[in-house]
Chains A and B, each alone.
Chain A
Amino acid sequence: EAQVTQNPRYLITVTGKKLTVTCSQNMNHEYMSWYRQDPGLGLRQIYYSMNVEVTDKGDVPEGYKVSRKEKRNFPLILESPSPNQTSLYFCASSLWGREETQYFGPGTRLLVL
């Protein structure tokens, strides 16, 4: 079954404690992206990757890091989380140039105290 998985699905943490949200896809997709969803603001792109070792900033990259060492994985790293990073996070993937193949993960709800 084609899918994008995210872990954890729910996370409560404290300010400053480094965390990683994993994203993995089983469709051999080149393109992967992270979004955050906040009430009334839609989805905002954090970082994206067009292929292994190729990443770039989206519209709201501050406070986040990513890496793309393998094609299937695209972890999102919060090195020093702050309360304003409390949000619902989605990972998505697609074939490069074939946006109609896009899948979203189920989301990770993060609360930073």
Chain B
Amino acid sequence: QQQVKQSPQSLIVQKGGISIINCAYENTAFDYFPWYQQFPGKGPALLIAIRPDVSEKKEGRFTISFNKSAKQFSLHIMDSQPGDSATYFCAGYNTNAGKSTFGDGTTLTVKP
């Protein structure tokens, strides 16, 4: 059972544009929602994360929007740059149980 659905699978954005990646989850026990950035040949790196008691979190050009009632959250990358080209994963964590479930990933390409 797919517990975290991520879309789109791939995304092409012009430099300076806004990249938006969406995730939907099913497990209401999730209490931590991170986004990871992964470059080819590297491990995922934590980019930004949110807990369900807030609806939005912003760190520089990266923003997470969280809708608890809809069980959806999204990553917005403002002023996208070619260096942002990478694969992005969302995840849901049940931190008390130690369990995590990842989305399938989105390959972002930012064209110069």
Q: Is the CB of B105 within 8 A of A42?
A: yes
Interface string of B32-60 (1 = CB under 8 A from A): 10100000011111100100000000000
Q: Is the CB of A106 within 8 A of B98?
A: no
Tell whether A74 is near chain B: CB-to-CB under 8 Å: no
Nearest CB of B to A89, in Å: 10
A to B contact number (C-beta, < 8 Å)? 54
Q: Is the CB of A42 within 8 A of B6?
A: yes
Closest to B45 in A: A104
Q: Is the CB of A43 within 8 A of B102?
A: yes
Q: Is the CB of A42 within 8 A of B102?
A: yes
- Prevailing SS type, chain A contact patch: strand
Tell whether B84 is near chain A: CB-to-CB under 8 Å: no
- Prevailing SS type, chain B contact patch: strand
Q: List 29 A-B contacts (CB under 8 A).
A: A4-B43, A31-B98, A33-B98, A33-B100, A40-B9, A40-B104, A42-B4, A42-B104, A42-B105, A45-B99, A45-B100, A45-B101, A48-B98, A58-B99, A58-B100, A59-B99, A59-B101, A90-B43, A99-B49, A99-B93, A100-B46, A100-B49, A102-B34, A102-B46, A104-B43, A104-B45, A105-B43, A107-B42, A107-B43
B-contacting residues of A (Cβ < 8 Å)? 4, 31, 33, 35, 40-45, 48, 50, 56, 58-59, 90, 92, 97, 99-100, 102, 104-107
